[in-house]
Amino acid sequence: MDESFTPGNRSAGRNPPDVLPEMALPAAPLPPLVPDEPPQGPGPEPSTAFPFFPEESQLEPPDTERELFSVAPLPPVTGRTELPGFPAGAPSIPPSPHYCTVRFFHAAAGLEPVRITVGPLLMTSGLAYGGRTGYTRISDGFRLVTVTSAYTPRTILFQQTLPFRAGELITMAVVHTSSGLDLLRISDLPCDNRPAGRACIRAVNLCYGSPALDVFLDDGRLVFSDVGYKEVTAFRQARPQEYGFSILQAAWLPTPYPTDIETVGDLPAVASYDDSPDYGGARPLASFYLEAKANGIYSLYLLGRWDGTPPLQVRVVESL
């Protein structure tokens, strides 16, 4: 922790300096603060402000992506270089054809905050469940990625050499597996082939242990079907408006619509539901709303544990 200083304690514990003798050497005059201007009258003594750098664990995960700012980094932890913080509300880093643009997402339900390094770079020192970092540029090549506990950094939870390809825009999600942890690589490249003014929506099932899940509109129309664990669906177009979604288990209903329907608002009603929004008597596992904006790109992350705590929940993340 940085030591705090106040004007009142600058001389605490120090003896006053000895008085100089009468034949003290003359001191060279200091240059004026503002040359060629008349002296100003006395004013109030300015207070000394010291910047406050909040710890990463105190920051809430932002709703928009963030840009790296050129600020002095904090002292390195265990000899590694720490990247500057990601101020909330700052604009995104645009992808570069010469770098891999990557962010990290903590999707391992029930796992403590994690510390993630890529080679010598500390990406985050305390990323909590459901949180994500801002996008960061990584040089093209293979890098050693290490995930440890934020509380005990010597406890390695995941370590593997992974490729980072120039021109990629990706999210790397920390997820559970039967043998421990894994990093799921999710492409965030935009759906540029959509008509102007349309949004894009996709679903990503990261609910550990879940069966295949369906994503419905609140009127009973099926948007994404049979989304298995660690599966990332293709994007679907959507007109800019508010949509209500519900999540249901997929085992009891086959895919009921033709695959050439690409726009969410144009999906046909599910005949087996008798045009009823009660999903044939099945109770939704989760329900939520999304205000889709023109040209917005949205990922519906299904998080949680199927047989434990926390239960299934949805995190809507907007990409570049």
- pLDDT one-digit tens code per residue, 270-284: 544 444 455 556 788
Q: Which residues of 126-137 are buried (b: 16+ CB within 10 A; e: fewer)?
A: bbbbbbbbbbbb
- Looking at residue 150, its pLDDT comes to 97
64-109 pLDDT, tens digit per residue, is: 333 333 333 333 333 333 333 333 333 357 778 899 999 999 999 9
pTM over 0.75: no
Secondary-structure percent of the chain, ordered helix, strand, coil, rounded to 5:
5, 35, 60
Least confident piece of the model among 14-18, 189-193, 223-227, 277-281: 14-18
Spell out the domains of the chain, with CATH numbers in brackets: 56-187 (no CATH), 199-318 (2.60.40)
43-71 pLDDT, tens digit per residue, is: 444 443 333 333 333 333 433 333 333 33
Q: Sign of dihedral through CA atoms 179, 181, 182, 188?
A: positive
For range 159-182, the mean pLDDT: 96
Length of the chain equals 320
**What ranges in the chain are assigned the alpha helix state H?**
none
What are the beta bridge partners of residue 176? 181
- Encoded amino acid at 240, one letter: P
Question: Strand, coil or helix: what is 13?
Answer: coil
